[in-house]
Chains A and B, each alone.
Chain A
Amino acid sequence: MAKLVIGLAASHAPGITARAEEEPQEVRGRVYRNYDRLRALLEEARPDVLLVVANDHVTYMFEIIPQFLVVTADAYEGPPDHQWLRIPKYRVKFHTDLTSFILAGLLERGFDVAFSANPLLDHATMNPLHFLASDREGGVIKYPIVSLLTNAFVKPLPPLRRGYQLGLALRELVEQFPEDLRVAALATGGLSHDPGGPRWGYVDEEFDRRFLGMLTRGDVESALKLTPEEVLSTGGGSYEILNWVVVWGIMRGKPATLLDYVPSYNIGSAWAYWTP
């Protein structure tokens, strides 16, 4: 049977690659070291598959906006704006058997997730893969992935509680998959930021530290009481914490270990991990 070997969470701030020089060398180095530390933890866990929980940015999920979407493609090349992001155009392969198993299992459990075989994976998925799972130069992502996209930007948003429940169901399904696979989960995005909004550049450190406190204490109930309105009051992009909450559910609410929190590149960026 498959098993969950590690959970990771990391910022996907596009500026980290697209406008790297905007931050001083000390901050830049700290950001890159955090990805390196997560990459080492991931490699130590020896995953066969990476389950990536990221959000869309009103690009792919546009004419139709699902709250959660499972990618059912075989392969993908992107992101489309890789030149602006200053990362290679990567080839990603999907673990289609695990994807199909998860999709069917979620539907059986009452999660009416959307699915698509024609994905557009933007920096939310591809930038963390660049740092954590790529060969960096050759344009190859080392692990097959299962890709789950969330709606973190277009109201009405799914409650965090629903995201957590989805994570719990994903864990059950991973552990019921009848192959000996080692599965790692990765949440991307957050924390507070207001991209393109009136407070673009503002980071709500008080909110970020409060959320990270809940995460590291394993205080799931306090986190799930956060409403979309409360989270969005800290910035139009802050609801990307939904991705973290989904993976927190996959990790069954265990306390996370916080590697670092660095307000940088206009985002309250954080890096954390869970052991199973």
Chain B
Amino acid sequence: MKATDKFKIEALLRDFHLKPEVRERFLKDPDSVMREYGIDPRYWPLLKEGRLHTLYKMGVHQLLLYHLAHVLGIKRDEYVRRINSPEF
């Protein structure tokens, strides 16, 4: 993953933490929020489906993945399972 692509994803995940309204808009219309953040559409499914293992292996920071999990309602046990499972 290119550094600029990763940065755009991480910027969204960081704003999930700091801006409740971004979290709310993402839950209602994720595609428009990801478009707004300039995230390449090929990465959209990874975020919407909570593909934590893939995102982690692509270099997205683990502290920021936690914020994605929070928005998607993924609890800690499931989080650990997903980040360790290649199918995710």
Residues of A with Cβ closer than 8 Å to B? 57-59, 62, 80-81, 153-154, 194-198, 200-201, 236
Whole-angstrom distance between the alpha carbons of A154 and B14 in the complex? 14
Whole-angstrom distance between the alpha carbons of A80 and B64 in the complex? 16
Instruction: Name the residue among A80, A196, A200, A236 with the largest chain B CB count within 10 angstroms.
Output: A196
Residues on A with C-beta less than 8 A from B80 are: 198, 200-201
- What are some 11 contacts across the A-B interface (CB < 8 A)? A58-B10, A58-B61, A195-B62, A196-B64, A196-B65, A196-B66, A197-B62, A197-B83, A200-B80, A201-B76, A236-B62
Interface class of chain A by DSSP: loop
The residue of chain B having its C-beta at the shortest distance from the C-beta of A237 within the complex is B63
Q: Shortest Cβ distance from A27 into chain B, in angstroms?
A: 18
A-B contact count (CB 8 A): 44
Interface size on B, residues (CB 8 A): 18
Residues of B with Cβ closer than 8 Å to A? 10-11, 14, 17-18, 56, 61-66, 69, 76, 79-80, 83-84
Whole-angstrom distance between the alpha carbons of A236 and B60 in the complex? 13
B66 touches A59 (CB 8 A): no
B61 touches A154 (CB 8 A): yes
B63 touches A153 (CB 8 A): yes
Residues on A with C-beta less than 8 A from B14 are: 58-59, 62
Whole-angstrom distance between the alpha carbons of A35 and B14 in the complex? 30
Ranked nearest first, the 6 interchain pairs of A and B with the lowest CB-CB distance are A196-B66, A196-B62, A197-B62, A58-B63, A236-B62, A198-B84
Q: Shortest Cβ distance from B3 into chain A, in angstroms?
A: 12
